[in-house]
Every structure is written in C-alpha cells, then in structure tokens.
Structure 1
Amino acid sequence: MKRAIIIGATSGIGKGLAEILVDNDYKVGITGRRIKLLDKLKSQNPNSYYTRAFDITDTKIIVENLDALTTELGGLDLLIISSGTGDLNEKLDFEIEKRTVETNVIGFTCIANWAFNFFENQKSGHLVAISSVGGLRGSGIAPAYNATKSYQMNYLEGLRQKAKKTNESIFVTDIRPGFVDTDMAKGEGQFWVATVEKATQQIFEAIKRKKQIAYITKRWKIIAIILKRVPRQIYAKM
C-alpha cells in the first residue's frame, strides 16, 4: 500500500485528491487548519486517513508535523501541496499581499524543501504541487497571487533539475489549473470552469504518469500558449 500526504485537504482540490487516493489503496495523511473538516473526512474511512492540523505559515512546526505524520503512515511515497491562498487586490492592501506571500512562498518552500530532502535521502518519491496558469504572467488585480504562483513554478523546475542530477527515482510535478469550482475561484466572467471531480481526476492521471507539468483541465494548455506569446505592450493594456 502506497503512502501519501496532502497539504491542504480540508476542501476543494486537496480533499478531492485525498478521496481519490484512498479509493486507489493509498494510506493518506491529511493536513489543514480546520481540524473539524479533517476529522469529518477521516470519519469516511478511519483506517485510511491520518490527520494533522496546522497552518503552513507557521514554519516552526511544519517539520515536526510532517515527520510525525510520515512515521504514522509508515513511510512516504507521495506528497501533494494543495494548500494556497489568493485574493483579488486592486487596492494593493499590503496585508492581503503579505498573507499570500507567507502562504504561497514561505510555507510552500518549507514543505517542498522538506519533501525533496526526504525523498533524496530515501532515493525515491514524488512531489506534486498545485500552482496555477496565473503564474505565467503578472496580474493587475491579483499581483501577489500571480507572482507567488510564478515563484512556485520556478522552484519546482529547480527541484526537477536537482532530481535529474541525483539519478534516483525522484519526480516533481507542477499542476497548473485554470478555473476550478472551489473557493479559490474569484472574479467575474470566468470560463472553462472545471468541477472539482473532473479536475482531481485529471490531476490523479497526471500523478500516475509522473508528468512534469500538467494543465487542468487539459485545454488550459491552449491559454498557456497564448499567454506566453502575447507581447508585453499588448498584455499591459489587457
């Protein structure tokens, strides 16, 4: 039986992935800030879920929680970082930007760093993180969100490069969703909004295939190609 940890499993994509993994004979460690939601998920299958409640912005307690959860699971094959935050912030409220950076950069880095070092010592493992199509370009209405997702993309690329040089069975997957019907989807005029069920199933398929980068849903790769090619002068007016 394989063992996985999902960071941010109280709702949305993280919760959906936890349920899929358990259905596919994984033992799953689930984390998040809201212990009641973690316990509710655990009650569905008490023998398959292991819980730890903590906030990823509190980096002083991340390592001890991940170590303890890994011990409870009896090892670790897969770690998924699904925890993240982002708000529309046209007025550039610094507290919103600060919270976004603390979660999507500091907390993310602490967990990714722990996971990679664990897998390198173990000589195998799979790190998966949920970034965003938004990380491909800047955003005037959510500057910190897009910038932090860009950071995640680059950090994961760096870890893939390190993994390649180890010549071990270490894999790093960057999941780049467009709009998914979760609390994170904010703003008007959204299109190609995927259900959580469809998104998580495609993510699970990407994990099984150990893809380096996967757009969710798949047609968002078209948007990614367009975004990358829009000239700066035109993009600035959009």
Structure 2
Amino acid sequence: MKRILIVGATSGIGEGLARLYAERGEVKIGVMGRRSGRLKDLCASRPDVFEAEVCDVTDTEALPVALERLASRLGGVDILVLASGTGDLNPELDYAVERCTLDTNVTGWTCVADWAIRYFENRGQGHLATVTSVGGLRGSGAAPAYNATKSFQMNYLEGLRQRVAVRRLPIEVTDIRPGFVDTAMAKGEGLFWVAPVDKACRQIARGIDRRRKVVYVTRRWRLAAWVYRHIPGWLYVRMMKG
C-alpha cells in the first residue's frame, strides 16, 4: 500500500490530487492544510483512506511536529506532495501582500521540503514532489514576489536533488511546473491554456509515477516555457505589463 502525504490539500491542485489518489485504491493518504472544515469534508468522503492534520505552513514551529504526527498515523510516508502556495497581483507593491507570499512560498515551503528530505534520508528512500510554476522562470512586474518565490523553489529543489545524488540515495525530487490551472491561484486578464483541475492532476500524478525530475502541466507548457526563457531581457521587460 502506497502512503502519500499532501501538504496544501484543502483546495486546488492539492485537493484534486488527494481525491485522484483516493480513487486509485491501495493507498493511505495524509492531508494537511489550515482549513479544518475543508479537511473534515475531505476525510468524510473516504474515511478509510484519509488521515488529516490541521496546520498552517507559515507556523514553522508547529509544522514539523504536525508532519511527524501525520506520518506516524499513516505508518510512514512514501511520497510527500507539497502543493501549498499563495500569490497575488500587487501593482501597488504593498509589502503586506509580498510578505504573505514570502512567508508561505519561501519560509513555510522550505520548512516542509527540508523535513521531507530529512525524513526520506533517515528512511532510506522516498519521493518529494512540489508544485512550483512556469512563472518561476522569469520575473513579473504584476506579481514580483510570486514569480520570485517560485524561482526560489525551483532552485532549491535542484539543490535538494543534487544533495541526494551526491549521497547516492534513492530519493526522487520532482518539480511540477503548472501553467494556468482553473483554481483561485489563476489571477489576471488574458489567461490562456487554462487547464481544468482534474486534467492537471492526472498529468501531475503521471509525472510522479514516472519519477520525472520536471513536469510541465499541461504538457504544451514545456514549449511555452522554452520560449519564455529565451525571450531577450530587453524585449521581455517591454512586453510584460507590470
């Protein structure tokens, strides 16, 4: 039986993955998030599959304890999916908005990622899969902190991948890079290639199954990401609306 722990399971991709994995069977799933009501509803849908723990990822003192507690109730963790994240358009450069993004996408995110790698190193194997974003490939005048924090996550994951490779440990690290997915995180005008949550989750689960290092969701975003990366800087700053 596969044991999966999903952080950020109360909405969007995290919740979608939890429901998708539950449908597969032969699985025990730990779900974590800050909204107790949403977790209660999720567990009620499949009480034989789900174990829940309420915790906000920005509470970095409580977070490791909550992760240990949930992992213990599952009887161990084979895959940890880190799907929590936030970000808002911030044309006024309101620091309170940026601070919220930093606290969640950098401080809290790093706490979970570090816990997962230490846990898998002690266990001798495991798989960390994290939802970053295509947006992390370049900066954004409209949402500076969001894109910057996603770039941080991508580079941090590469560092973790190098760490376990040097130690020759059978630990997989997957960087999931969605484009636009039909969740509350999809903000702004002119969105294109917006994927339904269920389609995005199927592709994410397939990438995790295949132990991919990087997964673009949907797959067409791989080409878009290549173009995005290679736009000359002088042109990029003129074409983006900030």
Task: Write the distance in 2 (CA, Å) between the matches of 1:166 and 1:44.
Answer: 41
TM norm structure 1: 0.99
Report the equivalent of 1:122: 123
Q: Any idea what the Cα deviations from partners look like across 1:20-77, whole Å, max 9, x if unmatched?
A: 1122222011011110100101011101100011110010001100000010000110
Give a deviation string over 1:164-203, Cα, whole Å, max 9, x none: 1122210000000000000000001100000000000000
Q: Which amino acid aligns with 1:32?
A: G
- Residue 59 of structure 1: SS of its match in structure 2? coil
**Structure 2 residue aligned with 1:160:** 161
Q: Which residue of 2 aligns with 1:36?
A: 37
Aligned to 1:107: 108
Q: Distance in 1 between matches of 2:166 and 2:209?
A: 22
- In 2: Cα distance, 1:204 partner to 1:130 partner: 12
Partner of 2:183: 182
The gaps in structure 1 that reach 5 residues or longer are none
2:98 and 2:37 mapped to 1: Cα distance? 28
Deviation of residue 2 (structure 1)? 1.0
2:7 corresponding residue in structure 1:
7
Equivalents in 1 of 2:83, 2:112: separation in Å?
11
Structure 2 distance, partners of 1:14, 1:136, is: 22
Unaligned runs of 5+ in 2: none
- Share of identical aligned residues, percent? 52
Cα distance in 1, alignment partners of residues 109 and 12 from structure 2: 18
Partner Cα separation in structure 2 for residue 184 and residue 236 of structure 1: 23
Amino acid at match of 1:91: E
Look up the SS of the partner of 1:236 in the other structure: helix
Q: Which runs of 4+ in 1 moved over 3 A?
A: none
CA distance in 2, matches of 1:27, 1:166: 29
| CA distance in 2: counterparts of 1:26 and 1:88, whole angstroms | 37
The aligned counterpart of 1:194 is 195
SS in 2 for 1:88: coil
* Alpha-carbon offset, residue 11 of structure 1: 1.2
| 1:20 corresponding residue in structure 2 | 20
Aligned partner of 2:71 in structure 1 is 70
Counterpart of 2:71 in 1: which secondary structure? helix
- Tell me the secondary structure at the aligned position of residue 122 of structure 2: helix
Question: SS of the residue aligned with 1:4?
Answer: strand
CA–CA distance in structure 1, aligned partners of residues 102 and 110 of structure 2: 11
> Shift of residue 79 of structure 1?
0.3
Q: CA deviation at 1:131?
A: 0.2
Question: Aligned residue for 2:89?
Answer: 88
Within 2, Cα distance between the matches of 1:222 and 1:114? 33
Question: Counterparts of 1:168 and 1:65 in 2: how far apart (Å)?
Answer: 25
Once the two structures are TM-superposed, the CA of residue 115 in structure 1 deviates from its matched residue by 0.2
What SS does the aligned partner of 2:202 have?
helix
For 1:217 and 1:138, the matched residues in 2 are separated by 21
